[in-house]
A and B are shown apart, each in its own frame.
Chain A
């Protein structure tokens, strides 16, 4: 026993980190691939469920603009407004709590109409091949597609305003976002 090897802690206490690194790499890969960097395009909204909702294919989303109607975050979610109705999943009738945003930028009634007309003008000129005069004629239809992603707790007056403003710019291809039924 006297010649037993004395414990060298630096050699004997050994942690094999290779499996941990492997698993961490896999986890990292998973979270990186599933990370949603489209946060500015798509605001956080609770979409209404629909049984007849068509699947929104990726290629159909190309060239389409997303318009979000969403509630200002409440104090429950560290936001600036107090709204018991919204927090309780009820409809919120306070129009000051709702926002319209496109690509992270918020719009008021007037600027929304200006945006719609600008987009319609550009689209008709660049994509539909119209000349300047026709592109500015907002009685001629514009083929630009707009996806309205409206929170299910919003009152109808918000999508109504959007429809009116899009109609003024002759943008008629309006799609409404809804939560698709889960596939079994």
Chain B
């Protein structure tokens, strides 16, 4: 390659052949360019499991007064998640958040400020919608959140 610095002349008395260097750099550049991908900015949501209510250790108290329970059901016909507080479905995020907040405030006024928001999704509800409800709970500054879980019937086979 002419001008690659491989030949001596008056300007460049000490020739340095940069051709192999460029070849190697090209290879490295190609490798890193091909393996490059833009990473999504990741965050997190804490929803710790209760320390004192492990699996099958305590009976669930069905007599919680003013329970804030959101049930999520997957509608196979409309292909969307139905979010219910009690028996009332809520499509709007704002309405769902407000109804949770109102119930929490009523509980707090009655001295039951420790009553958590319980999220009870069906197994076929997309995780996206569960995270969305968790997000609403966080946005409404509701301090405690729990999942109501039935025993999982899912069996994942052992990989070979």
Contact = CB atoms under 8 A, between A and B. Distances in A.
Interface in B18-55: 18, 21-22, 25-26, 28-29, 32-33, 35-37, 39-51, 54-55
A121 B160 CA distance: 26
Q: Interface majority SS on B: helix, strand, loop or mixed? A: loop
Interface residues of B, number: 64
A30 to B, nearest CB: 8
Contact of B45 (A35, A52, A166): A52
Interface in A56-108: 56, 69, 90-91, 93, 95, 98-100, 106-108
Nearest to A153: B126
A131 to B, nearest CB: 20
B154 A156 contact: no
Nearest to B135: A50
Contact of B127 (A35, A112, A156, A172): A156
Contacts of B36: 31, 34-35
A13 B7 CA distance: 13
B43 A10 contact: no
Contacts of B32: 28, 31-32, 35
B57 interface: yes
Contacts of B44: 53-54, 56, 147, 175-178
A141 B52 CA distance: 8
Interface stretch (B60-68, B109-117, B144-152): B144-152
Contacts of A147: 44
A164 interface: yes
Given A15-B2, A159-B130, A174 B25 contact: no
A60 B144 CA distance: 22
A48 B131 contact: yes
For the residues of A in contact with B, the DSSP-based class is: mixed
Nearest to A173: B48
Nearest to B25: A24
Contacts of B126: 91, 152-156
A177 B51 contact: no
Contacts of B131: 48, 50, 152, 176, 178
Contacts of B121: 156, 160
B45 A54 contact: yes
Interface of A: 9-11, 13-17, 20-21, 24-25, 27-28, 31-32, 34-36, 47-48, 50-56, 69, 90-91, 93, 95, 98-100, 106-112, 139, 141, 147, 149-161, 163-164, 166-168, 170-180, 182
7 contacts: A14-B2, A48-B131, A108-B157, A154-B126, A156-B123, A178-B44, A179-B43
